[in-house]
Every structure is written in C-alpha cells, then in structure tokens.
A and B are shown apart, each in its own frame.
Chain A
Amino acid sequence: MKLIKSLLAIVLVMAFSLIALPETPAEMGARLMKMNDNRPVFEKIKCKGTLVIYNSAGAIKFKKSLIFGTYTSGATEADFIERYIAYFTSPADDMGNSYLMFHYKTQPDVKYLYLKGIRKVKKVSGADKKLSFFGSDFSTAETGKPNYKEWNYRYIGDQKINFKGRDFDCYMIESLPKTKTIASEQGCGKRISFLEKKLLLTLRLDLYDENLIKAKELSLISFTTKTNARGQKVNYETGLEMKNVKTGSKSQLLFSDLKIEGESNLRTDIFSEQYLTQKWW
C-alpha cells in the first residue's frame, strides 16, 4: 500500500511537472500564430479599397480605387473558403478591370482576372505570389492571408511597437518557410510578426527576401472592431502600409465605407466569372 501510494505520488508529481513545463519557443510561436490565424472573421464584407503607391521621394505616383467584396464560409479547414471579388473604378486606364479569388486552407488559391483591354477573363496560372500587386509594394501573396501550414514558427521575444503614437507590447514570432519552394514562390525567406499581446493583431511584419536580407516592412495603420454574424468581436484591418526597405518606396492599402454582414447586402452568388464583367455592388 505504501509502495502504491509512493508510486502514485511520483506519477502525479511527474504529470504535474510535465504540465508545468514551459512551452518551447517553437510551440509558443506556433500557438500564437494559430490563434492569430483563427481570429474571428466577418462572413460578408463590402467596402471601397484604395491602393496608394508612393515613389521613393515620398510623392504619390499612382492611386487606384476599387470596390471590394468578400464572403467567407466553412466551419472546418476542409470546407473553409474565402472569396474575394474586386472591380477597379480608377484610375481611368485601369477602370473596368476586375479580379476574383478563392482562398482555401487545404488547396492552392484560384484566381481570375478580367482585362478590359483584351475583353477576356484569364485564369491566373499560379507562380504569381511574389509578383507585385497591381504595381504596388505589396506582393500578391502579401495581400492575402498566409497559409498557416506553409511555415514553421518560433517565439523570439517581446518588443514594443508604436501604433497611432502609443507603444504596445508585442510578441515577436519568427516564421520560416517549410520548403525552399515556398520561399521561392513567395520571394520570402523569413518573416517576423509583431503580434499585439491582447488582440493578437499584427502591428508590424518584417519581410526578408530569399537571401534573408530585410526587404519590406508592413505596418498596421488602422483597424475597426465590429461584431460578426456569429456574435464574435472581429478586429478588421482597414489600413496597411508596406515600406520597401530596399528602394525606399511605399504603398498603402486602405479600406473605407466598410459594410459588413447584413448591411453589406452582398449576394453570395456573385463570386463567379460572370460578375467580373457585371455590376454586383
């Protein structure tokens, strides 16, 4: 009996010790990024988007406006689909072009582009992730949500990041691509995310090229907080700025006139090729 009690005590002590063992940096990084990835989202969004492209002297070079709609469905990773449709309203030489994208968690994204100049819908044939997003400092990959499964994560410390004039404590998470192909496709060898500790918003993201030289810096300019159709509070980024450290240029992606869920009046059948040439907004 005494022996059993002793053994039980040892087992309990060991079990509690295991529980008490601190997370490894990799586990902590993965957990935090998973929480960041799983933040609640809106089911439907309709808004105006503005892409402002500055040259290295800081002057506005191009300003592009678009009308933007998204519809997200699926409770599990397998049936999760984020659908995006966008129609360019300015400048005049881009007006009429439009873009449709399906983002999945378990398979590659599917993208279509309608180019007014050739009057054709083109299915984008992959390998475009590191291409510039309509001439901006954002790459196509950086405008969408990264695929959580394509990266290895590691918590590397804490740092204060300034947002709207105030400093906030952030977790620093290093993300490394799991394969060379992913790095090559995205033109990115490393990312360091600065997640604000309470809301897990990415206040800053440092992007390194394939040679691990810092190339770009993404900063959050603004966000809004609203409740989605499931009653969850959603923190939605409404302003992002991408600085190209190498060239000195920068671009801003700003969303305004945000209408969500029911107030968006967004139909779910508009995410098709037909609506690349037809008014849906």
Chain B
Amino acid sequence: MKYIRLAVFVALALLFTGVSYGQIEDLADRPADKSADVKGDGDKDVTFALHGYAQGNFVVSRNDMGAKGNKWLNGRYEYPRVGATLQLELEGNAYDVAHFFSAVQIEYNAAGEKTNFPKFYYPNAFLQYSLFTYTADFDRTDISRYPTINVRETYVDLYGKGVTFRVGQQIISWGEIEGVEAPSDVVIPWDFTTMSNYFEYSRIGVVAANLSFHFAKQQLQFIWMPIFQPAKLPLDSLYKRGVTSIKRPNFEARNGEYAVRLSGALGNRLRYGMGFLYGFDDMPDAKVKMAGPPPSPIMGIPIFIPSIVITEMYYNRTYVPTFDLGIQMGEVLSWKVSANANFTRDFWGKDDLIKNPTVTYLTGPESSNIFWKIYMGLYVGQQWVLNYTKPSNDSDPMELVMRLNSFKIPNSKMLKGYGQSYPYRWMISGNLQRSFTESDALEVQVRFALYADPQVKKVDYVIYPYLMYKFTNGVSTCVGFVFAKRQGDERNMIVSETRYSF
C-alpha cells in the first residue's frame, strides 16, 4: 500500500511537472497569429514607392577673394546657399527581374546664382569667350533666383542569373577606400562646388550603361558613358584665374568613355580590384591663346608682345588603370591600397598646356572600431608626376626672352593649377567617425586630406568635420565646417542642413 501511494505520488508529481513544462510550448506564437500580419512589400510582384526628403539649407562662407577678387563679391562673409531642397525619389521593382530608381532634386536658393555671364563673339577672329575675368562687372540684381532642378540619378536595372545591367544617370563608385581622395574612384567626377554635408553630393552622376557579371565572388564590370561629364569647378576660381571659357568635348560617338573592372574576394581575407578607364580627364587642361602683332625686333631679338590673352580650358583624353587591395589583418583592422595611373597625351612632358601623366597611391589601415568605438580609415600616399617639368623661372629676364613666343608661356601658375608644381607630393587622407549619446543619435565625423610638397614646406588641406544629430525617424540636423586650401583656392564655410526624410 505504501508503494502504491508512493507510485501515485510520483506519477502525480511527474504529471504536474509535465503540465508545467507543457505550458511554455503553449505560449509559443501560433501560426494563425501570423495571418494578421500585414503583408510586406516583398510579397507584391510589382511595387512603386515615393520617398525623398525636404531640407532647409543655410551656408555661411568666408569670401577669401573678396574685394581684391570679384567686384560683385566685396563683403568678407556671404550666404551662398540659403533656401530649401526637395528631393523626390521614385523607386519600383518588377518581380526580381527589374528595378527602377529616380532621384530628382529641386532646390531654391534665395542667395541666387550668377549664370548670365557676358559672352563675346568675334567671328572674323574665330574668337568666342565668356568674360570670366576678375574685372567682370555686372549688376548684382542680375543673379538668378529661380529654383533649379537636378536629376541626380534615374536608371533602370535588369537582373539575370549572375548578370546585372543598369542603364541611365547613375553614380558609380570604385575602390576599397572612401573619402576626400580615393585614387581608384575614377569613373565619375567630383563636384568641387558642393555646399552639402552629405558626402554623396560631392559626386556627380553620369549617363552610363553598366553591365556586370557576377561569378564565384568576383565581379566583371563593363561601363560605357556616351556623354562626358567633367568635374564641377567653382566659378569664382575661374574668375580669379582669368579663364575665358571651358569647352567640353562635343557630343559625338567618338567622344564616349569606356571602363572595365574586375574585382572580388580571394578567400575571406583578401579583396582586390583592377580597373581601366579610357575617358577624359575630369579636370581641364589650359589652352592659352595670345593674339597680337608680329614679333618686333628689339636689339636684334624678336619679342612678341600679346595684345590679348585668351585662356580656354578644355578636356583631354586619359588612360587610367586603377588598382585596389584590401587585406584583413587579424580581427581588428584591414589594410587597404588604392592606386591609379593617369596617362595623358603628353607622356613625355613636352607640352605645358597638357598635364603630365601621374601615378597616385594611398595605403593605410581601416577599422570599424580601432579603439573607443571609433571608425577609422587613415591612408598615406604620394602622387608622382612622370617626366616632371620644372616650372620656369619667371624672374630671369634671359629665360623670359628665350621663352617668349605664342607657345611658350610662363608656366608656374599653369603647373600650380594642374597640381604639378613638384615631382611628387605627399598625401594623407582620412575618415574618422564616432557616435555618441543614447541610441547613437549624435554622429561626429571628420574627413580630411592633406597635400604637401616633397620637403613638406607647403601644405594644402581639405578638412571637413561635421556633426549630425538624429531626433527621431528620418529627422536630423547636420552642421559641418569646411576648411580648404588647395591649388591656390581657399574655401571656408559653415554648412547647416536640417532634413526630414519621408
């Protein structure tokens, strides 16, 4: 009897324990509960969505050219960008075979922009130029304040098995490193006029057909760009340099650009990229025309004295191989290399009016948390000028006399404008980033690039710190500071952008 009672007790205990165990399984979500879930976009076969942002802009800039530069910019400080931006982004997917994206930016700038430069045309002399000189004078009320519309990107993607094809206006980014200088990121041009804190607005989209094959962790990419898009340069720097016109290559089939790149991963520790661009240099070369009477002999030496100097900027063909490497170093960081060679038409450095070829590289460590939760990319490198041409000595009267004709000009300013004043220059480029406060709502970032001559006596710099605070979903404000001195131009700005994304 005693045993029977014990057995019953044990059975009851086991039963109740079992009931207790069973309860947690009962608390699992039931599949039926899921039927109430709203179906995601991914369940639809064809989708369209409209997104974008509205943004208030306020930029204060120090006018370093000031009274000694353009007459119309005679204040020390100005507001070159005060207004608002509306960007509309339309995106669609058709099954998993096609994708469409368009980003159109409408910007109103109350500060306006000078667009109607006086143009001069002398058909008999085959001369046509804009008055981009520092003596330019015009009515300040001449500034255009109409909103501008800019199609940043509009493209269609088609997907096949292992193949993607993107056609339209697009931003194409090459390379392992990112930042102010990335030697292998050569396909699309830079916008040196940008007054935005968002790095993507320092790039300009290009119209391209972009075909990529994907296989075994590798990507083979072919790009055709029928229309050349050069880098965007600040007009005030052109004023200062007395440039009369900038001429793009004509829109002809022969003026297309072509690029190819093989990239991918070899194992889990090595990434590489090898590219080649046959295109135009995004930065112009100079063509100086000096018109005047025939050289008149002074003491038996024919001296040419020009009566007018026209400085045209134009774009030359270049051949640009690129190279990238990313090597994982232990668990903490990876080591990156980014390089390019820019072969111009003047390989042997004979012509001052065309840039000499260059070889540029940057290399350094990158880590998502080097210490104190700081993201860091820090790269050191050089840019070498092949067949370097030493600037002429403009203070030597003998050299001036020997050199003065319509094709040989004082070239030190020219070489400075090309960034080729020295046989090589040092480069340091970096990107540091850290988030602070609850939910990482405050982001602090510094991008910078420093350039120095071989003796490190003259240093150019682009330093760009910014702070972004995210209030809640899609609402943020951003304040950035630009300190830049590069190739004879200075820019100092405070850029504030407050954005609501939808």
Which residues on A are within 8 Å of B, measured CB to CB? 48, 53, 55-56, 60-64, 67, 89-93, 95, 102, 107-108, 110, 117-120, 122-128, 130-132, 135-136, 163-164, 166, 168-169, 185, 196-199, 201, 222-226, 235, 238, 247, 249, 256-258, 272-274, 278-281
Q: A123-B334, A127-B369, A128-B368 are in contact. Are A256 and B435 (CB under 8 A)?
A: no
Q: How far is the CA of A124 from the CA of B366 in the complex (A)?
A: 9
What is the count of residue pairs linking A and B with beta-carbon distances less than 8 angstroms? Answer: 166
Interface centre among B27, B159, B441 (most CB of A within 10 A): B27
Q: A168-B24, A258-B34 are in contact. Are A125 and B502 (CB under 8 A)?
A: no
Residue B102 at the A interface, CB < 8 A? no
Taking a contact as CB atoms under 8 Å apart, the answer to whether A132 and B440 are in contact is yes
Residue B237 at the A interface, CB < 8 A? no
Taking a contact as CB atoms under 8 Å apart, the answer to whether A201 and B24 are in contact is yes
Q: A125-B333, A135-B440 are in contact. Are A62 and B473 (CB under 8 A)?
A: yes
Chain B residues with Cβ under 8 A from A235's Cβ?
28
Taking a contact as CB atoms under 8 Å apart, the answer to whether B29 and A223 are in contact is yes
Taking a contact as CB atoms under 8 Å apart, the answer to whether B53 and A92 are in contact is yes
Chain B: minimal CB distance from A166 (Å): 6
Contact of A125 among B41, B367, B470, B472 (CB under 8 A): B367
Taking a contact as CB atoms under 8 Å apart, the answer to whether B199 and A117 are in contact is yes
Taking a contact as CB atoms under 8 Å apart, the answer to whether A62 and B326 are in contact is no
Beyond the given pairs A67-B40, A222-B29, 6 more chain A to chain B contacts, judged by CB atoms under 8 angstroms and listed by A's residue number, are: A93-B474, A120-B175, A125-B333, A223-B29, A272-B217, A278-B164
Taking a contact as CB atoms under 8 Å apart, the answer to whether A166 and B96 are in contact is no
Taking a contact as CB atoms under 8 Å apart, the answer to whether A136 and B368 are in contact is no
Q: A127-B331, A249-B439, A256-B37 are in contact. Are A119 and B214 (CB under 8 A)?
A: no
Taking a contact as CB atoms under 8 Å apart, the answer to whether B200 and A118 are in contact is yes
Taking a contact as CB atoms under 8 Å apart, the answer to whether A224 and B28 are in contact is yes
Chain B residues with Cβ under 8 A from A136's Cβ?
439
Interface size class, chain B: 35 or more
Chain A residues with Cβ under 8 A from B474's Cβ?
91-93
Taking a contact as CB atoms under 8 Å apart, the answer to whether B369 and A130 are in contact is yes
8 tightest A-B contacts by CB? A92-B501, A281-B42, A91-B473, A198-B21, A126-B331, A135-B440, A224-B29, A125-B334
Interface string of B194-224 (1 = CB under 8 A from A): 0000111001000000001010010100000
Taking a contact as CB atoms under 8 Å apart, the answer to whether A224 and B31 are in contact is yes
Q: How far is the CA of A124 from the CA of B368 in the complex (A)?
A: 7
Chain A residues with Cβ under 8 A from B250's Cβ?
none
A-B contacts, 13 listed (Cβ < 8 Å): A55-B438, A62-B472, A91-B473, A102-B268, A118-B173, A119-B172, A125-B334, A128-B368, A222-B28, A247-B438, A258-B34, A273-B219, A280-B96
Residue B395 at the A interface, CB < 8 A? no
Q: How far is the CA of A156 from the CA of B214 in the complex (A)?
A: 52
Chain B: minimal CB distance from A182 (Å): 10
Chain A residues with Cβ under 8 A from B20's Cβ?
168-169
Q: How far is the CA of A213 from the CA of B351 in the complex (A)?
A: 70
Chain B: minimal CB distance from A261 (Å): 13
Chain B: minimal CB distance from A152 (Å): 20
Chain A: minimal CB distance from B446 (Å): 16
Q: How far is the CA of A216 from the CA of B106 in the complex (A)?
A: 46
Q: A55-B439, A135-B440 are in contact. Are A118 and B178 (CB under 8 A)?
A: yes
Contact of A126 among B25, B332, B470 (CB under 8 A): B332
